[in-house]
Structure formats: C-alpha cells, structure tokens
A and B are shown apart, each in its own frame.
Chain A
Amino acid sequence: MYRYDEFDHKLVADRVDQFRGQVERRVSGALTEDQFKPLRLMNGVYLQLHAYMLRVAIPYGTLRSEQMRMLAHIARKYDRGYGHFTTRQNIQYNWPALDQIPDLLDELASVEMHAIQTSGNCIRNVTSDQYAGAINDEIEDPRIISEIIRQWSTFHPEFTYLPRKFKIAVTGHVNDRAAIKLHDIGIVVKQNDAGEVGYEVHVGGGQGRTPFVAKKMNAFVPKAKLLAYLEAVMRVYNMLGRRDNSYKARIKILVHETGEDEMRRLVEAEFAKIDASQMLTVPQEEIDRISAYFAPPAFETLPADSDGFTKAQTADADFARFVRANVVAHKQAGYAIVNISLKPIGGVPGDATDAQMDVIADLAEHYSLDEVRVTHEQNLVLPHVQLDDLKTVYDVLAANQLATANLGLISDQIACPGLDYCNLANARSIPLAQEISERFADLDRQYDIGELKIKISGCINACGHHHVGHIGILGVDKKGTEFYQISLGGAADENAAIGQITGRAFTEEDIVDAIETVVTTYTDLRTDGERFIDTYNRVGMEPFKERLYD
C-alpha cells in the first residue's frame, strides 16, 4: 500500500490548516456562505437535512487496519457512532459540527487520510477495483496508476473550478467492478502486442439526470503518457464545457453535444501539444517508486486446499453458505478474498458502527495482511485471508452481524441516503431497501433468484446508481408525497447499460409488491442458468410491463 512521504504529509497538514483558517473566516463573517460553500465542499463538507455531512476519501478503496480504526474513532468521537460507506469508495459521517471538523481532519491526517476533493467541481477521489492485487488474471494492479492520478489531480491549479464535478475510475481486470463506463473518465489497464502496459480511456460516462455510457476515446495510451492524456481531456472540458446550466455541465454532455469524433479530435490535438512538451511524462523512477508500494504482500507458500476449511464447511451449513456467496478465489494458492456484506437483512445499506469498524480492523490486522477494501456496492472486503483462517474470521464476523451471505443477491442493494438525510432528496431510499430486504429475507429464495442488483436513489442525481441497477428504483416527489419509479435492464459492469423505465411510478405502499412482481416474472420466464439480466435482455421489457400494469 502507498505510504505518505514527508511531502505528502506536509501538504495534507497544510490543507487542514488552510481549512481551519477558512472555517474561522466563515464564522467571523469574513466569508459569506456563498464564498465559503465551494471551499467547504472541496474539503468534503456538505449540509444535509439534520446537520453537516463530512465525506472522507478512501483512495481507490484501500485501507490499512490503523486507518479503519481511525474511521471508527471518528465515528465515536465526532459523530454518532456510525459511518456510511458510499458508492464512490468514500465514508460519510452524518453529524459532525463544523467547528470540530478541522480537529477531525487533523486526526485523519495522522493516518494519511483526508477529505480533499471529495466534493466540489474538481477531480474527485479516484476509485478502483476492490479486488486489486488479489484477483487472478489482473494485467496490473490498478492502484498504481490510481495513486499517480490521485497525486496529479490533488490541488490541480487549473482544474479546481471545473464546470462540474469530475470522477475517474480505474480497473485492471476484464471484469469491471468499478463501473468505469459510468464515470467522467474510465480507465482500463491494457497490454499491447509488445507486452507493454498502457491504458484504454473511456470518456463521458455518468448518471444523474441524463445518464450516458462512456465512449472509448483512446484504445491505448502508454503508461508514462497517461497524465498528459488526462490533462488534455480536462483542458478541453474546462475550456468548452457548459457553465450556463449545471444539469448540462458534465463532460458527458460536452461529448454528446460535440460528437464523439470531434471530441476525440479536440482531445488528440491537445494531447499532441502537451505530449510534445514532455512536461507531464511521468519519470520511470517515480513509476517504479509508486509501483513498489503495491508489490504483492508477503504471502506464505501454502497448499491450494485446506483440510480444516473443507471440514468446517461440512460441519457448519451457515459457514458453507457464506463461503459460497461471499468468498472469491484468490490469485495466491491457499488464500481467499472475503466479502463483508454491509447489507444485513433489514439494515441500512452501507452503514457500519464504530464497533464493527474496530472488529474489521482487527480482523484485517490479524488475518488479511493488514488490508481492508471498500466496494462501490457499499460492502467491505478482506482481500488476503488464508483458507485455514476463514472459519475463525467468519465466526467473528457472524458475532458482529457482519456475515450476511448475500453478496450480489437481491438483498445486497445499493441505496443512497435519500430523504432521511439528504437535502436534495425527493423520497426516502433506505426504508424501501429495508422493506425489500425483509420481503426477500429467506436466503434460500435469494439463492434461487440468483444474481440480481437492485439500486435505489432518492432523486434523479442517481447517487444510488438506479440507472444501472438490474432493477433500478428512483424516488420521485408528487405534491409532497413519495413515489417510486422502476427501471429494468441496467448494468454497471463491463457490459454497462442504462435501464429502461417500466412506466408510471408506484406509491410507497405498492412498490415492494411491484418489485416482487418483477422478480416472479423473471423466475417464471427464465431458462436454465439464466440470470435476471440475461432473461431481461432476451425477453425485453414487455412481459414485465404486462405483469406490472395489467
């Protein structure tokens, strides 16, 4: 994992001091709220319904155990004993006081963490694959280039007042777990015929009011030139992106209105100029230095099977289910990737208490080479667990309500905070997720239904990714009452697609029944081995519509 050097430490400390000054100037009246707002946003501080909210970055979703412990400490000391893990690999605290946030940030900085650029019209926290460095067949650990991008984009003087926010995601694997095609820039690590590593760059994806799947802008940008290429994309966007209407300000609209080919021409022209200057060509020594931090950890040489592990599964059916649903094969013999679901039946998706965070930190320290990962589906991962330790880890998780065996299943939903917390919401998201989870609580039924991703947003901003849910649910407001619109067929993986709306919205009373209707329509129509999304792609919207609205 990347470790700060003196330079990184100093700059983060400078930033906390700077923000402390800004808070003081706001409180003393030297700054108006209008002037302060972009500054607080650039430091992750929002105003929600009940209080401020602080969003802390977890760059490319990787945490050391001491960092997880710090997140627990902050939840206890500055908040109300919990945090919310988000779809952008951040954690949000819902109750911090403005005047305490500088102290909170000081504590975070002590473990090399910050809230820099987690909001505002700047380049946001870079996100990546939660299985980075643990999964088989990765071309290169995506966190290497993610860290380089993180540094380049931090306090970038030219790109801090962009037309709108800007999100970058990276995957190093053919299976995209980072939803890269739904980002302003999505990057796929590639290898060319000569065996060199470079990057395929997609531009102009996004959700919100007008969802778009990103367009492939360049099939192979060499490693040392990626920053030059990104700077070119950013400059074209900063100069030409719309500033007259915030709903049309994202780069997806620029790409759409300019046209893919013209956009490519503009970017290539700018890239040629920047590349010729050599200014942004990253030196090989620095690439090597950063790569070294992501070298494989000290794996032990172990047999591929573990007797104890096999026996434990036979002896404990719940454990066997957990293994089947939540454990993924590791690239190193004798190890496994363990997913921790933050979606207990009836729980709040993505929330974890301070005590749970401490437990996970301890498990990571003892059993996962000190690492924890955060996923865009609002779960956590212990990436490097020995098979021999799996049962022990499971028992601890189970004792702390962290062992729900539902990864990728219908109760593993994404839900944004919605009207319970969010200032922009039209409707509540969390209670709906809870009701759906309870309706489908029976795990055997969930296994029978199979992979099914429900994603819920409380308004069209789409923080809950509803556009790309196999089943998406969007909260709408009709005269002060909550209604919910369903969409079907979305996908956030390498086959990214935007879902289609079924028709008129459902009331709060009817929505869970409607979801059940969608699910039974699928189970009635599926052929052997078909997942929900496969059936939908085969039969289309009509059969679902008929059953929903007849």
Chain B
Amino acid sequence: MAQHAAKGARFQAVTANRLSDGEVVYWAADNRWVEGFSEAEIADGADAAEALLARAMPADFEAYVLEPYLFEVLEDASFYKPASVRETIRAAGPTVRLDLGKQAGA
C-alpha cells in the first residue's frame, strides 16, 4: 500500500475494501461505507483529510473493511474524480472488461 499516499494533495477521500466480499467502498459524509465514488466525502486540505481518515477508522473498523487509506482526488469542473489511474480503475472496474465492476451497472 505505497504508491497512493497523497502528499501535497488538496482534495482527498478515503477508500477501503469491504471485508465480506472485497467490494471497493468509500467513506461517506453520513459516516458509513458506500459503494459509489460519487457519494464519497471529499476532504479539503491535509488536516481535514486526517480527520476524515480518523472518522473512517473507529476502534471496530476491521469488522467492516480492510486497509482504509486516503487517496488524491481532483476537482474537474463541477465534479470530483480520482487522480491516479489506479484509483480510477478501482472506482470503475478493469479497463479490459467493461462488463465487470462498478462500471457495468452504470
């Protein structure tokens, strides 16, 4: 879990994989894990990001998810999108199988 530490990033969100089935999930403003990136809470600034990660990791977080972490998000016109190829692929699904992953239902 190295390459996505988001040093110097302005906007960040928290993601993890769900314990029961490994599904990619995001931490949402109403303090729960959601499947869609569009519902993820976006932190503005380093302090807000740390606070967001702390909220996503209460004492019992391991009962729900694996390895939560922060990743960089970019602001693009009126919406946000993940900065890295990796997080873009996690948010959508394999680029070689457009019939699979979250993109399939979209």
Q: Are A420 and B90 in contact (CB under 8 A)?
A: no
Q: Are A50 and B22 in contact (CB under 8 A)?
A: yes
Closest 4 CB pairs of A and B: A97-B21, A51-B22, A420-B94, A52-B22
Partner of B24 from A49, A419, A428, A477 at Cβ < 8 Å:
A49
A92 to chain B, nearest CB (A): 13
Report 10 cross-chain contacts, Cβ distance below 8 Å, ordered by A residue. Answer: A47-B17, A49-B89, A51-B22, A51-B23, A419-B86, A420-B94, A420-B96, A420-B97, A423-B1, A427-B85
A26-34, A123-131, A329-337, A363-371: which lies at the interface: A26-34
Q: Are B83 and A480 in contact (CB under 8 A)?
A: yes
Q: Are B66 and A480 in contact (CB under 8 A)?
A: no
0/1 interface trace, chain B 84-106, chain A, CB 8 Å (1 if under)? 11100110011111001100000
Q: Are B21 and A50 in contact (CB under 8 A)?
A: no
The docked-state distance in angstroms from the alpha carbon of A52 to that of B19 is: 9
User: Given contacts A29-B62, A419-B85, A420-B95, are A51 and B17 in contact (CB under 8 A)?
Assistant: yes
- In the complex, which residue of chain A has the Cβ closest to the Cβ of B99? A80
- In the complex, which residue of chain A has the Cβ closest to the Cβ of B94? A420
**Residues of chain B contacted by A430 (CB below 8 angstroms):** 94, 96
11 A-B pairs besides A33-B66, A33-B67 with CB distance below 8 A are A27-B20, A27-B63, A50-B24, A51-B17, A95-B100, A98-B22, A419-B85, A430-B96, A431-B96, A434-B96, A480-B83
Report, as a range, how many residues of chain A touch the other chain: 20 to 34
Number of interface residues of B (CB under 8 A): 27
**Residues of chain A contacted by B89 (CB below 8 angstroms):** 49, 419-420
0/1 interface trace, chain A 340-361, chain B, CB 8 Å (1 if under)? 0000000010000000000000
- In the complex, which residue of chain A has the Cβ closest to the Cβ of B3? A477
Q: Are B67 and A480 in contact (CB under 8 A)?
A: no
- In the complex, which residue of chain B has the Cβ closest to the Cβ of A429? B96
Partner of A98 from B21, B83, B95, B97 at Cβ < 8 Å:
B21
A137 on the interface (CB 8 Å rule)? no
A505 to chain B, nearest CB (A): 15
**Residues of chain A contacted by B22 (CB below 8 angstroms):** 47-48, 50-52, 95, 97-98
- In the complex, which residue of chain A has the Cβ closest to the Cβ of B93? A50
**Residues of chain A contacted by B95 (CB below 8 angstroms):** 420, 428, 431
A516 on the interface (CB 8 Å rule)? no
B76 on the interface (CB 8 Å rule)? no
B30 on the interface (CB 8 Å rule)? no
B60 on the interface (CB 8 Å rule)? yes
**Residues of chain B contacted by A29 (CB below 8 angstroms):** 60, 62-63
**Residues of chain A contacted by B21 (CB below 8 angstroms):** 51-52, 97-99
B77 to chain A, nearest CB (A): 20
B86 to chain A, nearest CB (A): 6
In chain A, positions 223-262 with a C-beta closer than 8 Å to chain B are none
- In the complex, which residue of chain A has the Cβ closest to the Cβ of B86? A419
0/1 interface trace, chain A 425-445, chain B, CB 8 Å (1 if under)? 111101100100000000000
User: Given contacts A348-B96, A421-B94, are A480 and B19 in contact (CB under 8 A)?
Assistant: no
Contact residues of B with A, CB < 8 Å? 1, 3, 17, 19-24, 60, 62-63, 66-67, 83-86, 89-90, 93-97, 100-101
- In the complex, which residue of chain B has the Cβ closest to the Cβ of A477? B3
A482 on the interface (CB 8 Å rule)? yes
**Residues of chain B contacted by A47 (CB below 8 angstroms):** 17, 22, 66-67
- In the complex, which residue of chain A has the Cβ closest to the Cβ of B90? A49
Q: Are A50 and B101 in contact (CB under 8 A)?
A: yes
- In the complex, which residue of chain A has the Cβ closest to the Cβ of B23? A51
Q: Are A27 and B3 in contact (CB under 8 A)?
A: no
B47 to chain A, nearest CB (A): 23
- In the complex, which residue of chain B has the Cβ closest to the Cβ of A52? B22
The docked-state distance in angstroms from the alpha carbon of A428 to that of B97 is: 13
Q: Are A80 and B100 in contact (CB under 8 A)?
A: yes
Q: Are B94 and A50 in contact (CB under 8 A)?
A: yes
In chain A, positions 89-123 with a C-beta closer than 8 Å to chain B are 95, 97-99
A132 to chain B, nearest CB (A): 32
A168 to chain B, nearest CB (A): 30
**Residues of chain B contacted by A477 (CB below 8 angstroms):** 3
**Residues of chain B contacted by A425 (CB below 8 angstroms):** 86
0/1 interface trace, chain A 21-61, chain B, CB 8 Å (1 if under)? 00000110100110000000000000111111000000000
A481 on the interface (CB 8 Å rule)? yes
**Residues of chain B contacted by A348 (CB below 8 angstroms):** 96-97
**Residues of chain A contacted by B97 (CB below 8 angstroms):** 348, 420
A550 to chain B, nearest CB (A): 30
User: Given contacts A32-B62, A348-B96, are A482 and B20 in contact (CB under 8 A)?
Assistant: no
The docked-state distance in angstroms from the alpha carbon of A431 to that of B94 is: 10
The docked-state distance in angstroms from the alpha carbon of A477 to that of B62 is: 30
The docked-state distance in angstroms from the alpha carbon of A112 to that of B1 is: 35
A544 to chain B, nearest CB (A): 29
Q: Are B20 and A99 in contact (CB under 8 A)?
A: yes
**Residues of chain B contacted by A482 (CB below 8 angstroms):** 85
B43 to chain A, nearest CB (A): 19
A261 to chain B, nearest CB (A): 37
**Residues of chain A contacted by B84 (CB below 8 angstroms):** 480
The docked-state distance in angstroms from the alpha carbon of A32 to that of B60 is: 10
